[in-house]
């Protein structure tokens, strides 16, 4: 596998301990507040809207199931077998296909592309959670999946989100309940420089076709009941031609 064993083990541990309840994980927000908003930005740039859609880093599959109601073939992939167990339990009718795939391993991405052909990719909040050495290989894998006709919607925490998260973690009362397990498992989100993401995209042979800023909605709330939203940036990327 391309990713470091420490990173993979951290995610296996996190998902083994995560509750099954909807919204129990920090980023498991309602699809209407997440992927539903993202699709309005993504779909105008799809060169071929009928392509399969791959949700990379699908986790427990909440956003994947929403995508499956809009597109004829949707595949959720994740590095973590424990995450995929959550996803399958939440989909007893097996309406969505979930597979364990390391998208940062070029061979695995190419094998999936050989099976599906060009695909449109949804990538939400994955790059900033990767170990630094795995970030460029992950974007290279996205390039392999999209091929010539596919597009990828990439949304990542902005640099400023790291400051917000660290402030929450260092609160006198301790980190919020849904943030604590992330740090406890050695997962450090929000550490990718804003300027680095377009550089990864260019190095993978892709072009930024559109970009903007949006808050990334979480399922956690401050003591006064305000939902925690984190600064994020989104990009639509693909082959320029």
Q: Where are the beta strands (DSSP E) in the chain?
A: 53-56, 74-78, 97-100, 120-124, 151-157, 207-221, 227-238
Provide the mean pLDDT of the chain: 91
The answer to whether residues 231 and 154 touch, using CB atoms and an 8 Å cutoff, is no
Element at 111 (helix H, strand E): helix 106-116
The residue whose two tokens read 């695909």 is 119
Quick one: pLDDT at residue 69?
94
Average pLDDT in the 191-220 region? Answer: 94
Distance CA 128, CA 139 (A): 12
Average pLDDT in the 202-212 region? Answer: 97
| Residue 51 burial (10 A CB sphere; 0-12, 13-18, 19+) | buried
Q: In whole angstroms, what separates CA 5 from the centre of its chain? A: 19
Average pLDDT in the 9-33 region? Answer: 92
The predicted-structure confidence for 60-102, as pLDDT tens digits, reads as follows 999 999 999 999 999 999 999 999 999 999 999 898 999 999 9
């Amino acid at each position: 596998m391309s990713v470091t064993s420490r990173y993979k083990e951290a995610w296996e541990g996190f998902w083994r301990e995560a509750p099954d309840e909807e919204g129990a994980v920090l980023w498991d927000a309602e699809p209407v507040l997440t992927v539903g908003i993202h699709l309005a930005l993504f779909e105008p740039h799809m060169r071929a809207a009928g392509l399969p859609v791959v949700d990379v880093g699908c986790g427990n599959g909440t956003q994947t199931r929403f995508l499956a109601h809009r597109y004829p073939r949707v595949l959720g992939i994740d590095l973590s077998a424990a995450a995929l167990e959550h996803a399958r339990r939440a989909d007893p009718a097996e309406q969505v296909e979930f597979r364990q795939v390391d998208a940062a391993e070029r061979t695995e991405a190419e094998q999936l592309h050989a099976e599906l052909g060009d695909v449109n990719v949804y990538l939400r909040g994955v790059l900033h959670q990767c170990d630094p050495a795995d970030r460029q290989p992950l974007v290279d894998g996205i390039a392999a999946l999209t091929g010539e006709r596919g597009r990828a919607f990439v949304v990542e925490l902005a640099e400023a989100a790291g400051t917000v998260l660290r402030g929450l973690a260092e609160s006198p009362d301790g980190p919020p309940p849904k943030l604590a397990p992330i740090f406890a498992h050695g997962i450090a989100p929000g550490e990718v420089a804003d300027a680095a993401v377009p550089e990864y995209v260019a190095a993978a042979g892709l072009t930024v076709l559109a970009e903007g800023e949006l808050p990334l909605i979480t399922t956690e709330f401050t003591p006064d009941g305000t939902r925690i939203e984190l600064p994020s940036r989104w990009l639509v990327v693909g082959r320029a031609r």
